[in-house]
Amino acid sequence: MTDLQADVLTADQIGIKQAAKILSKGGLVAFPTETVYGLGADACNSIAVARVYAAKGRPSFNPLIVHVADLECAKTYAQFNDTALKLASAFWPGPLTLVLPCAPDSPLSELVTAGLDSVAIRIPAHPIAQALLQQFDGPLAAPSANPSGRISPTQAAHVITDMHDRIEAILDGGTCKVGLESTILKVEDNQVSLLRSGGLSSEQIETFLGYSIMTPSDPKTPQSPGQLKSHYAPNSPVRLNVKTLQGAEILLGFGPECKVATLNLSPTGNLIEAAANLFSYLRKMDALSKGTIAVSPIPMSGLGVAINDRLKRAAAPRN
């Protein structure tokens, strides 16, 4: 696929410094957390985040979890109400992810949140993850470090087998203790819903809160973003695979042949660049549009599959 060959870094001071340096240049580094190995990228760098989706071969832009070193840093990216603060102080650092409203003016790449106005955030407890976050001094987007549809990795060897030709480096931190992904809770007002069960049990959470949380079997629980057909829709209607504009349409283009585009996702036809621009350009097009947003055909290869999936949802009839 590429001529990349991941460096296996020993998780000492030198290795962690090296990993942070690679990340700050937009590289991808797998690192251990207490749950599973994460595939880390600078969460503010859209190209780096697009490369994460490409490396995983994810068929859609399911939003990623943002990992931070401490609560102060988390508050730069997410808004905490009292319930969220209580949960954070009880269970962080640890295997809990909170889905919270994005902070205003958050510098996170929109590709991390897949254009949603909420963000999934957690403080991992693993000492190597902690050291890396402190050295990097910023937020790391990190899904589990496995190709899409494969089992999450709990040892560096798993990551090396599956991902060695897709990432710059792996920090070897032995076996992950929890071995299950983090539990994901969405906190909206004072309602808490379980979006994914994981390393922290619902019983522990409910005992702490003193009340029941909403579970996926409850019809009022928010669905996971990947399942919603028109979740990411802009206000304007969207027409796909457009070669000729009609009426008041404006064109979101792709590739060198696209001369009349209002914005071009990638003038050179690079799918990683197109993915990195997708959410912010859709927002800009929505602000400019007085009618329909037309979108050029995007090839169905590599990240094109996820881009087309996202566009199909944007163009789907509204709920």
CB of 264 to ligand TXA, least distance (A): 28
- The entry of Mg ion, ligand TXA, none that residue 97 binds, CB within 5 to 8 Å by partner kind: ligand TXA
Question: 22, 27, 35, 233: which one contacts ligand TXA (CB under 6 A)?
Answer: 35
Sign, Cα dihedral of 51, 54, 55, 61: positive
By the 8 A CB rule, do 275 and 245 touch?
no
- The entry of ligand TXA, Mg ion, none that residue 129 binds, CB within 5 to 8 Å by partner kind: none
Q: Which of 129, 132, 65, 124 has its CA nearest to residue 95? A: 124
In angstroms, rounded to a whole number, what is the distance separating the alpha carbons of residues 108 and 30? 20
End-to-end CA distance of the chain: 39
Q: Can residue 64 be called a binding residue for ligand TXA (CB under 6 A)? A: yes
Q: Which of 17, 18, 160, 154 has its CA nearest to residue 95? A: 154
Q: Can residue 106 be called a binding residue for ligand TXA (CB under 6 A)? A: no
Q: How many other CB atoms are found less than 10 A from the CB of residue 309?
A: 17
Nearest to ligand TXA of 27, 38 (CB atom):
38
Beta strands per DSSP E along the chain: 7-10, 29-32, 37-42, 65-67, 96-101, 118-122, 140-141, 169-172, 183-188, 191-196, 238-239, 250-253, 263-264, 293-295
Nearest to Mg ion of 142, 285 (CB atom):
142
Q: Tell me the per-residue interface mask from 187 to 226 with ligand TXA, x by CB under 6 A, - otherwise.
A: --------xx---------------------------xxx
Residues 237-266 that bind ligand TXA (CB under 6 A): none
Q: Cis peptide leading into 93, omega within 30 of 0?
A: yes
CB of 144 to Mg ion, least distance (A): 3
- The entry of ligand TXA, Mg ion, none that residue 93 binds, CB within 5 to 8 Å by partner kind: none
Q: Tell me the per-residue interface mask from 116 to 145 with ligand TXA, x by CB under 6 A, - otherwise.
A: x-xxx---------------------xxx-
CB of 193 to Mg ion, least distance (A): 19
CB of 146 to Mg ion, least distance (A): 7
In angstroms, rounded to a whole number, what is the distance separating the alpha carbons of residues 87 and 76? 17
Q: Near ligand TXA by CB under 6 A, which window of 1-9, 28-36, 103-111, 269-277?
A: 28-36
Buried b (16+ CB within 10 A) or exposed e, 246-281: eeebbbbbbbeebeebbbbbbeebbbbbbbbbbbeb
Nearest to Mg ion of 16, 114 (CB atom):
114
Sign, Cα dihedral of 151, 154, 158, 162: positive
Q: Tell me the per-residue interface mask from 152 to 191 with ligand TXA, x by CB under 6 A, - otherwise.
A: -----------------------------xx-x-------
Nearest to ligand TXA of 168, 181 (CB atom):
181
- The entry of ligand TXA, Mg ion, none that residue 228 binds, CB within 5 to 8 Å by partner kind: none
Nearest to Mg ion of 151, 287 (CB atom):
151
In angstroms, rounded to a whole number, what is the distance separating the alpha carbons of residues 203 and 188? 20
240 token code pair: 């796909």
Q: Which residues of the chain form contacts with Mg ion (CB under 5 A)?
A: 144
Cβ neighbors of 14 (< 8 A, separation 6 or more) are none
Nearest to Mg ion of 166, 315 (CB atom):
166
Q: Which of 54, 101, 68, 104 has its CA nearest to residue 276? A: 54
Chain residues binding ligand TXA by CB under 6 A are 33, 35-36, 38, 62-65, 97, 99, 113, 116, 118-120, 142-144, 181-182, 184, 195-196, 224-226
